[in-house]
Structure 1
Amino acid sequence: MTGTYRSILIEEMRKRQRKNPAYSLRAFARDIGISASRLSEVLNSKVGLSEDRAAIVADRLQMKGKEKGFFIDLVQAEHARSKLAKKAAAERVTAYLMDTKKISDEHFHLISDWQNLAVLELVDLPSTQHNFAAVATRLGISVGEAEATIARLIKVGLLKEEGGRWVTADADSTTSVDVPSTAIQNYHRQMLQRAHRSLDVDPVESRDLSSVVFSLDSKQLSYAKERIREFRRVLSQELAAMPGKDKVYSMSIQLFELKGDEA
């Protein structure tokens, strides 16, 4: 669970809406003990929650222990009345995130090449043959690269061997947000290079590379980034839950099949 307390609320509401398409913001507001108008203002960053209200919301969402404390600290880190209280809450948030199951920046540096995350997705596809040559062919990389990639993933504990198959050892891992890391920069650079390759060689019906130009209040950039993260997370979860998966894609708002130069 990462992001802001607003993203947690949005994710919970969307989860309920996926189970019940008729579930509305008004219903969610009722269930967490806030008026619909107030909740709308909260989710749109117009107002915040108090510490007491955050505790009530956490209880209504059946959060317990550290999870409840984390949610309240996210609220306090943004809305506490004193700078000291805000700082203390932010430090607790950081400590909590460091304790959760995440790929550390050090681990990300070890696996920053694009094919590592592609392999983690590929091994879960029903059609994947679990041998180096098959993985190399599917991703358009050399057999040597496939061997090195899988060995690296096993070394850092993200992949393991079971019954002649490779299986992911830690689902839904993430990296830290907005951390200036050369490994993360390298990963994004490679994704852009892959997108450029797709633009040159893939037919338009098999990819979506699009952009939009618009103006905004620069003070709302953090809100925009939050909503983009929410969109990526929700869409990827919805697509991952659908049956019939057969290829690995990357979405950086560009959507294309992830493969190497040999494909």
Structure 2
Amino acid sequence: MKSLLEYTSYRQYIADYYADRKARSAFSWQEFAKAAGFTSPVYLKYVSEGRFNLSASAAEHVAESMHLAEYERAFFVELVKFDHAKNDTEKRAAFSTMLSIAEKHKAKVVDAESFRFFENWKNPVLRELAPAMPGAKPLALAHACRPEITAAEVSESLNFLVKADLLQKDESGNYKQTDKTVTTGPMTVTPLAVRGLHRQMGEIALDAIEGVPQDERHFSGLTLGITREAYEKIVEKIAEFRKEIIAIATSETATDEVYRLNVQFFPMTKKSLNKKG
């Protein structure tokens, strides 16, 4: 059975823990529930299936019944908080605590590097900018960013990018990308960071309306009345368009500027005009 710190779902861990014990002994859901202090013999089975939730205190008892080490118990409790979080702020706080626990014990959390990459706009920008400015010191890179950041922030981001193998640093101190593009992929935690990145980039876009000359930026928009079928077709076209843009950008090795393209398509009304009530 893999380490608890490799899980991003406490329900899956409970299910896997039970299956592992069951394969080695006459272990039952009733025995598991009783050890954790539940009167219902199938309570934890239902938890693993998503029918019931664990409270914070119950999470402590379940962790203890599984004989987890102290740091693993703390991780399990945060895993429960992460699953039950009501908003992105709570979810991000729980996952950050999980990362801290894992780092202290030199363990790797699934999606951690992708989460950190997309969590802050500086990472994708510096991943493009640093290779385009060979020999540049952190202060020069900081001044080149829009909005401007500090040299310390640049150093922190570059160190992370190298550690995560998103950039490589040669003996001369120059950087190059390990891959031309970075995508989110089918990850479980990364979308949380991506939502935050979209918010950050949206705020920067607002500043660019007034802060960037019109011949150096392009803003346009459409307001459309559509059906669900049209929505799905438009989303497909947007996906195709993004691939074409990536192909254009990656066809050249040189970089003059680092640009951000926000593709946003969202509802301006709350319910279908063709439905009553």
TM (normalized to structure 1)? 0.51
Aligned to 2:154: 146
2:216 matches 1:182: no
Determine what percentage of the aligned residue pairs are the same residue.
23
Aligned to 2:128: 121
Aligned to 2:136: 130
Q: Tell me, in whole angstroms, the C-alpha distance in 2 between the residues paired with 1:233 and 1:168.
A: 19
Q: Tell me, in whole angstroms, the C-alpha distance in 2 between the residues paired with 1:160 and 1:152.
A: 11
Aligned to 1:199: 209
Deviation, structure 1 residue 177: 6.5
The unaligned stretches of length 5 or more in structure 1 are 1-103, 255-263
Q: Is the 8 A contact 2:180 2:250 kept in 1?
A: no
Q: Is the 8 A contact 2:165 2:178 kept in 1?
A: yes
Deviation, structure 1 residue 203: 1.6
Aligned to 1:228: 238
After TM superposition, which residue ranges in structure 1, 4 or more long, deviate above 4 angstroms? 177-180
TM (normalized to structure 2)? 0.49
Of residues 162, 169, 177, the one that matches 1:168 is 177
Q: Tell me, in whole angstroms, the C-alpha distance in 1 between the residues paired with 2:260 and 2:211.
A: 16
2:249 matches 1:239: yes
Q: Is the 8 A contact 1:209 1:253 kept in 2?
A: no
Alpha-carbon RMSD: 2.4
Q: What letter matches 1:238 in structure 2?
A: I
Q: 1:179/1:196 Cα in 2 relative to 1: closer, same or farther (>3 Å)?
A: farther
Deviation, structure 1 residue 225: 1.6
The unaligned stretches of length 5 or more in structure 2 are 1-109, 265-277
Of residues 196, 218, 221, the one that matches 1:211 is 221
Q: Tell me, in whole angstroms, the C-alpha distance in 2 between the residues paired with 1:124 and 1:237.
A: 19
Aligned to 2:261: 251
Q: What letter matches 2:248 in structure 1?
A: E
Q: Tell me, in whole angstroms, the C-alpha distance in 2 between the residues paired with 1:161 and 1:128.
A: 10
Q: Deviations over 1:164-202 (max 9, x none)?
A: 211112332210369783201111111101101101211
Q: Tell me, in whole angstroms, the C-alpha distance in 2 between the residues paired with 1:177 and 1:132.
A: 33
Q: Is the 8 A contact 1:105 1:175 kept in 2?
A: no
- Matched ranges for 1:100-115 at <5 A: 105-111=111-117, 112-115=119-122
Deviation, structure 1 residue 219: 2.7
Q: What letter matches 1:122 in structure 2?
A: L
Q: Tell me, in whole angstroms, the C-alpha distance in 2 between the residues paired with 1:185 and 1:136.
A: 24
Q: Larger C-alpha radius of gyration, 1 or 2?
A: 2
Q: Higher strand share goes to which structure? A: 1
Q: Tell me, in whole angstroms, the C-alpha distance in 1 between the residues paired with 2:186 and 2:237.
A: 14
Indicate the SS of the match to 1:216. coil
Q: Tell me, in whole angstroms, the C-alpha distance in 2 between the residues paired with 1:154 and 1:142.
A: 19
- Matched ranges for 1:60-79 at <5 A: none
Deviation, structure 1 residue 244: 5.4
